[in-house]
Amino acid sequence: MSARRLRRRVVSGLMTTLVGVLSFVAVLALVLILGYLVAKGASSLDWSFFVNNPVPAGQSGGGVANAIVGTMIVVGVAALIGLPIGIGTGLYLAEYGSGRLGWIVRFVADVLNGTPSIVVGILAWTWLVRPMGHFSALAGSVALAVLMVPMIARTTEEMVRLVPHSLREAALALGYPRWRTSLRIIARTALAGILTGCLVGVARIAGETAPLLFTALGNLNFTTSVLEPMQTLSLQIFTYGTGPFDEWHRLAWAAALVLMGLVLLLALAARWALRSRHGAAR
């Protein structure tokens, strides 16, 4: 084997190893983050953490009950607003989206998908907080819904497009009207995929903080009124994580672990939904 040939093979081996090591490093980052969350947060997860509201600064104890309920309400309302619009837009793109409007909607969805979430928060602020004169959970939900729609629309379109044409043609040939074909046959067939998209979308917004800073704002008390400022886990983590007290830091880790668990649960549910019906779709 000539020296040159040997060198080339050594370089090849080294680079192959290097990219393997880099992959390991990336996975290691994930392990380190999740590991620290569990190590620092798990010990604080007790009954009182889940059922109590925050106590004034300086005192120990207290929980994040208000933030957990608040997250569910803010995200739930956002989903109520965002999912129908997103799914409808996706169906439009798949069914009628070959024209100019389809092109525009697709383009806008991609633009909005890349828009920083904090800028979307500004939009919700001008729409709801400024006219109402005070912060509200509803404004936060609207901001999250705006973030959600482009994502949901694009995945729904993609999933609906995966349905074979023959299925549609069969339904139309049997005399089914187009709209019923679209809803009963096409959307139904793509349901698992659409559901996956929705779960991914909800998972993405559940951890959002930036657009809530000046919309939902945060609240020390327990509230279920969407017209009042409301606490969410993400806002609570921000406040506690950047605050000066050790007790707050402990709670920040615990709340971060809960939020991470929630997001992971949604992400895994999304994967599972896709695999159960549409295993070959990807």
Nearer to other proteins, 47 or 105 (CB): 105
Q: Is 154 in the site for other proteins (CB under 8 A)?
A: yes
Q: Is 213 in the site for other proteins (CB under 8 A)?
A: yes
Rounded Cα distance between 194 and 99, Å, is 23
Rounded Cα distance between 125 and 105, Å, is 24
Question: For residue 159, what are its two tokens?
Answer: 């999933």
Write down the residue that tokens 């999912």 correspond to: 83
Q: For residue 235, which of 17, 66, 25 has the smallest C-alpha distance?
A: 66
Nearer to other proteins, 47 or 87 (CB): 87
Rounded Cα distance between 40 and 31, Å, is 14
Q: Is 6 in the site for other proteins (CB under 8 A)?
A: no
Where are the alpha helices (H) located in the chain, listed in sequence order?
Answer: 3-41, 47-51, 65-96, 100-113, 117-124, 130-132, 137-161, 165-173, 178-180, 188-189, 191-206, 233-242, 246-278
Q: For residue 255, which of 44, 3, 36 has the smallest C-alpha distance?
A: 44
The 103-132 site mask, x for binding other proteins (CB under 8 A), equals -xx--xxxxxxxxxxxxx-xx-xxx-----
User: How near is the Cβ of 267 to other proteins at its closest, in Å?
Assistant: 5
> Contacting other proteins (CB under 8 A), which of 59, 80, 169, 224?
169
Distance (Å) of CA 192 to CA 201, 241, 276: 14, 38, 8
Q: Which positions from 61 through 100 interact with other proteins, judged by CB under 8 A?
A: 84-85, 88-89, 91-93, 95-98
Q: Which positions from 238 through 257 interact with other proteins, judged by CB under 8 A?
A: 238, 241-242, 249, 252-253, 256
Q: Which positions from 19 through 58 interact with other proteins, judged by CB under 8 A?
A: 19-23, 25-27, 29-30, 32-33, 36-37, 40
- Other beta carbons within 10 angstroms of residue 110's beta carbon come to 11
> Contacting other proteins (CB under 8 A), which of 53, 72, 158, 277?
158
Q: Is 259 in the site for other proteins (CB under 8 A)?
A: yes
User: How near is the Cβ of 194 to other proteins at its closest, in Å?
Assistant: 14
Nearer to other proteins, 127 or 222 (CB): 127
Q: Is 174 in the site for other proteins (CB under 8 A)?
A: no
Q: Is 272 in the site for other proteins (CB under 8 A)?
A: no
